[in-house]
Amino acid sequence: MSVSEFIAPASLGDALGIKNELGTEARVIAGGTDLILRMRDNVLSPTTLIDLRRLSVNDIAFSDDGLILGAFVSLSQVLESADIENYFPALPAACREFAGPPIRNRGTLGGNIVNASPAADLVPPLIAYDASIVLSSSSGERVLPLMEFFVGPGKSVIEPNEILTEIRLPPLAVRSAATFIKLGKRRSMAIAQVNLTTRLSVDQAGVVKEARIVLGSVAPTVMRAVNAEEFLTGKALSNDLLSEAAKKTREAVTPISDVRGSRSYRLEMTEVLVRRALSATCNKLQGTVSDG
């Protein structure tokens, strides 16, 4: 592991200029909880590290237009935010299940996204909340749905000259609720065998207006079970409906067997956990729908 330069630029423009010149030779270091391990193992060998902590890229801004998170917001910052807990609770729920306090203090949202792990814990809640991301370069910004960022394990559409600068969550409809569940081999410091977030938005009569079922560790990238989401949409909530949606989710996932669990175990647990998450989500919605 040999890095020739560690730069803390005075502005984002300066950082983007360095990325423009050096491409993947220069890597952004956020918390370093992934990057340093990969450099130690010679998976990545950047010559230059760019540290943006001097810049205000770790702000949290909440308004009627939704939530804007700087890419360098740490997991601990998410856990300290009352607005995020009130309006986007599946995100702090994922943070609480993530590693332990030292990693949560250093690890960032942007690092978890750019790492592009199919098991990344923060990605299912962010996609369930319809997050979009801002990728900045010397030539400007592009905004894309987070769902379109990932193309394979460890692979994304980020260009060598780009830095992820922001994550944006639109405001939620009234009568919306979401649930995050993670299954690991132990209760903490575990990479997920399956992780998922369900979100439901319903009308006053309890008919599903919008459904999101987003899963990690069961496909080459974090994925949405669109077949199950479409099945739920337009229907009144019932136990049978939730069970059928969970079955449909099982049909959509394509897990592999690895050191953390077999394919058949992951298939089985996908159905069980999606059923459980949908049921918990419905319970949270109770009281927001009328009986008549």
Based on the shown chain and the rule CB under 6 A, indicate whether residue 166 belongs to the binding site for ligand FAD. Answer: no
Helix, strand, coil in percent for the chain, rounding step 5: 35, 25, 40
Residue 161 or residue 249: which is nearer to ligand FAD going by CB? 161
Our finding on whether 197 is near ligand FAD (CB under 6 A) is no
Q: How far is CA 160 from the centre of its chain?
A: 22
Are the CB atoms for 27 and 48 separated by under 8 Å?
Answer: yes
- The distance of closest approach from Cβ of residue 290 to ligand FAD in the complex, given in angstroms and rounded to an integer, is 39
**Residue of 209, 202, 174 whose CA lies nearest to 87:** 174
How far apart CA 218 and CA 118 sit, in angstroms, is 8
200 touches 176 (CB < 8 A): yes
Q: Of residues 27, 224, 248, 250, which one binds ligand FAD by CB under 6 A?
A: 27
Residue 11 pairs in a beta bridge with: none
* Residue partners of 228: CB distance under 8 A and separation at least 6: 211, 213, 245, 246, 248, 249, 252, 274
Cβ closest to ligand FAD, residue 126 vs residue 225: 126
Per-residue x/- mask for ligand FAD, residues 6 to 25, rule CB under 6 A? --------------------
Closer of 43 and 173 to ligand FAD (Cβ): 43
Is residue 164 close enough to count as binding ligand FAD by CB under 6 A?
yes
Per CB under 6 A, which of residues 110..149 are in contact with ligand FAD?
Answer: 110-112, 114-115, 120-121
Give the CB-nearest residue to ligand FAD: 111
Report, in Å, the least distance between residue 100 CB and ligand FAD.
7
Beta strands in the chain, from DSSP E residues, in sequence order:
5-7, 26-29, 48-51, 60-63, 66-70, 132-137, 140-145, 150-152, 155-156, 163-169, 176-183, 194-202, 208-216, 223-224
CB of 132 to ligand FAD, least distance (A): 15
Among 28, 172, 196, 208, binds ligand FAD (CB under 6 A): 28
* One-letter amino acid of 92: P
- Which is closer to ligand FAD, CB of 106 or CB of 284? 106
Tokens of 116: 């592009």
Is residue 104 involved in binding ligand FAD (CB under 6 A)?
no
97 vs 229, beta carbon nearer ligand FAD:
97
The residue range among 34-42, 146-154, 168-176, 249-257 that interacts with ligand FAD, by the rule CB under 6 A, is: 34-42
- The residues of the shown chain that bind ligand FAD, judged by CB under 6 A, are 27-35, 37, 71, 98-99, 103, 106-108, 110-112, 114-115, 120-121, 163-164, 189
